[in-house]
Amino acid sequence: MDEKDVTIPAISCGHCVATIERELGELDGIDVVRGDPYTKRVTIRWSAPADWIRITEVLDDIGFPPEGS
């Protein structure tokens, strides 16, 4: 199981976090998606078949690219 804690600068409210949680939660292998709109941080925990490349693709597609990716 892998885990990353990332900053997503585009987060501005709880609805942004809910969108991220919903969209990533639809990927097979995603175990946890937990975000905080005040710190703009999101913790993502996953195992195969999910991988970091696919996770960042989804985040990019929905307009919430993680900082430094």
pLDDT > 90: percent of the chain: 97
Q: CA–CA separation, 37 vs 30, rounded Å? A: 20
**Residue 36, domain extent:** 2-61
- Is residue 19 domain-resident? yes
Identify the band that residue 37 occupies on the pLDDT scale cut at 50, 70 and 90: very high
CATH classification of the domain holding 16 = 3.30.70.100
Q: How many domains is the chain partitioned into structurally?
A: 1
Q: Is 66 part of a structural domain of the chain?
A: no
Is 68 within the bounds of a domain?
Answer: no
Q: Say if 20 falls within a structural domain.
A: yes
- pLDDT category of residue 69 using cuts at 50, 70 and 90: low
Nearest alpha carbon to residue 22 among 42, 7, 38: 42
Q: Quick check: is 35 in a domain? A: yes
pTM of the complete model? 0.93
**69 assigned to some structural domain:** no
- The predicted model gives 11-33 an average pLDDT of 97
